[in-house]
Amino acid sequence: MRIVVDRNRCTGLGMCEAEAPDLFEVQDDGTLLVLNETPDAGCRQDVEAAVEGCPTEALSIVED
C-alpha cells in the first residue's frame, strides 16, 4: 500500500493529520508532509479514514 497525494488538490487543511497523525503532518507553510508513504497493512484503517476525511479528495491509496 502506498499513499499518493495530489498536490494540486491538497489545500493543507490537515484533516488527514487529525485522522492519522503518525502518517501526516501539515507544515507551517501549509505543505503536507507524508511521514510514511508505504505504511504497514495494520495502518489501513487510519489511512482509509484520512482518505475519506480529506475534503478535497487529494489522497488515494495505490496497491503496489
Find the angle CA(1)-CA(56)-CA(6) to the nearest 5 degrees.
Answer: 50
According to CB under 6 A, which one of 10, 20, 23, 47 is a site residue for ligand SF4? Answer: 10
Q: How far is the CB of 42 from ligand SF4 (least distance, A)?
A: 21
Q: Which of residues 11-50 bind ligand SF4 (CB under 6 A)?
A: 11-16, 24, 26, 32
Q: Are 1 and 60 within 8 A, CB to CB?
A: no
Q: Which residues bind ligand SF4 (CB under 6 A)?
A: 5, 10-16, 24, 26, 32, 54, 56, 58-59
